[in-house]
Structure 1
Amino acid sequence: MISFVKENDIDEIQDLIDYAMENRFDDWFPLLCDNSAFIMNNYIKSIRHRIR
């Protein structure tokens, strides 16, 4: 997921969740719903803060 975020300039967790729900429903989406959303959200947030 982190590579995908970096390669696709994802800067909002909603974009990652929407992508996962539509394209990675069987693997990424359950992880994001369970516990990976916390780390991914913080990772994406750090990207936004670095851009500013």
Structure 2
Amino acid sequence: MQPLHALLPGDIIATGTPPGAGMGMKTDPVWLRSGDVVQLEIAGRGRQRQQVIAAR
């Protein structure tokens, strides 16, 4: 079976945020802060890592 679309280096997979995370939290929302690290891995495809930095 052929894939519908091949992923290429630099492609972005935006899946959104699961319920209860970020602004969906029932109590005080938790936001990303400078220095936080976000990582994503797709088995057999690769891994990406971003570090949050403060806006200037």
Tell whether the structures are fold-level matches, with TM greater than 0.5: no
| Alignment TM-score, normalising by the size of structure 1 | 0.26
Q: Which structure is higher in helix share?
A: 1
Larger radius of gyration, structure 1 or 2?
Answer: 2
Q: Which has the higher contact order (CA 8 A, sep 6+)?
A: 1
